[in-house]
Amino acid sequence: MTYDLIIVGGGIGGSALAAVMARAGRNVLLLEKSEHYEDRVRGEWIAPWGVTETRRLGIYDLLMSAGGHHITDHVTYDESLAPAECEAAPLPLGIFAADVPGPLCLGHPRHCQTLYDAALAAGATCLRPVIVDAISLGARPSVTYTHNGVQHIAHAPLIVGAEGRQSEVRAAASIPLHQDKPHHWFAGLLVENVKGWNPTRQAIGTEDNFGFLAFPQGGDRVRVYGGYALEEKGRFNGEDGARRFLEAFRMSCAPDNAALAAGTPAGPLFSYFNNDSWTDEPFAEGCVLIGDAAGWNDPINGLGLSITYRDVRMVSDILKETQAGAAPDFTPYAEERAERMRRLRFAGRLQATLDMEFGEAARERRRSYHERKSADPTLGMHGVAIMAGPENAPAEIFTEAHRARVLGLQPA
């Protein structure tokens, strides 16, 4: 029961890392809590820079053969703009990363299963469902877990926390998680039987007290998300909540949304409050954190998968380069991640302020932003950070002066 690496959590990050490290010849144990992957309303859209990360990890073709679907253009709607004006010049999404036609969509349960199967095929020991009973770190790390009713203890020089927001490895390492205040509610639903939606076009928009995002998944399926004010906590509660949620997509400013509203719910409707979180140092003696366990970005940006794939790439590169018997140095990963998450936190807060605040003042701010941006496209540069990667936007974008410019505020 001694491994090179024990990974707790077999979702996107854990299964991808297990596959990559098993392919590199390491003896990997992957422990996953669930028996089956279910739709819990998580990420199904990978940004162009995240697609590049999947290529670098050697798993892009795998995702495509599992049903990956590329989106190639984007339209932003707003109640201050005429629909024809918005649709006249869709943003081509193939401009953000070399050889990437646009964002890549794949259902989350199938995405996880594909990576888990790849880890198994590469020779990792993959166990599920597993209950993790105890994690011990420090000089001789171990995980005590129960599988098929039998308790085991496994040892490895390194334990990876990849079990999402409620990370037990993070808790065992006493790594503090910082969180900022929730900004808005964000609900998601998979819709099928959507007739007439352009299958390669994504759209976002805000009207009245609702902001929407729609990402076609291939065929007649579209993953939709909707944002609404924190004060409206129970807005879509109840048996007919999914139907009322879809009705909220009917907007004068986005007439094609009628196709979404007429679709059929194909999964659960779950709501989360959106915020950002981060760790100062996502590692400690005997452990490293990846993906949401290390801190997450506001899902308004849709970047959790891209962030997780970058984490997997950086951590796997460090592990592959570390001499046998030596302790890996995760400092470069921690430094890159801190700046990456700072920039994405900034971009997310700006996007949420623009798209997910409601009422007269917010409406006027959006109107003014769209008007000024058509004359000065640099006001939309935070979008480059989201699509092309935070390191590919100029540093001055992530400053209070830029924020004031975008929102039409007096500089502080």
- Sites of contact with ligand FAD (CB under 6 A): 8-14, 31-34, 41-46, 112, 130, 132, 162-164, 168, 186, 188, 272, 291-293, 296, 299, 302-306, 308
Q: How far is the CB of 288 from ligand FAD (least distance, A)?
A: 13
List CB contacts of 52: < 8 A, sequence separation 6 or more.
97, 98, 100, 389
Q: How far is the CB of 303 from ligand FAD (least distance, A)?
A: 5
Q: Which is nearer to ligand FAD, 186 or 210 (CB)?
A: 186
Q: Which is nearer to ligand FAD, 71 or 194 (CB)?
A: 71
Q: How far is the CB of 381 from ligand FAD (least distance, A)?
A: 20
Q: Which is nearer to ligand FAD, 81 or 156 (CB)?
A: 156
| Contact (Cβ atoms closer than 8 angstroms) between residue 180 and residue 345 | yes
Q: Which is nearer to ligand FAD, 57 or 81 (CB)?
A: 57
Q: How far is the CB of 69 from ligand FAD (least distance, A)?
A: 13
Phi, psi of 20 (to 5 degrees): -65, -45
| Contact (Cβ atoms closer than 8 angstroms) between residue 103 and residue 51 | yes
Report which of 168, 153, 170, 163 is spatially closest to residue 284, judged by C-alpha positions.
170
Q: How far is the CB of 108 from ligand FAD (least distance, A)?
A: 6
334 alpha-carbon distance from chain centroid: 19
For residues 383 and 348, what is the distance between their CA atoms, to the nearest angstrom? 10
Q: How far is the CB of 96 from ligand FAD (least distance, A)?
A: 15
Report which of 200, 5, 36 is spatially closest to residue 122, judged by C-alpha positions.
5
| Contact (Cβ atoms closer than 8 angstroms) between residue 355 and residue 227 | yes
Q: Which is nearer to ligand FAD, 36 or 195 (CB)?
A: 36
For residues 344 and 350, what is the distance between their CA atoms, to the nearest angstrom? 10
List CB contacts of 237: < 8 A, sequence separation 6 or more.
none
Question: 3-state DSSP call for residue 269?
Answer: coil
Report which of 57, 61, 43, 51 is spatially closest to residue 94, judged by C-alpha positions.
51
Q: Which is nearer to ligand FAD, 316 or 370 (CB)?
A: 316
Q: How far is the CB of 126 from ligand FAD (least distance, A)?
A: 11
Q: Which is nearer to ligand FAD, 177 or 379 (CB)?
A: 177
Beta carbons within 10 angstroms of residue 40's beta carbon = 15
Beta carbons within 10 angstroms of residue 357's beta carbon = 18
Q: Which is nearer to ligand FAD, 186 or 398 (CB)?
A: 186
Q: How far is the CB of 169 from ligand FAD (least distance, A)?
A: 9
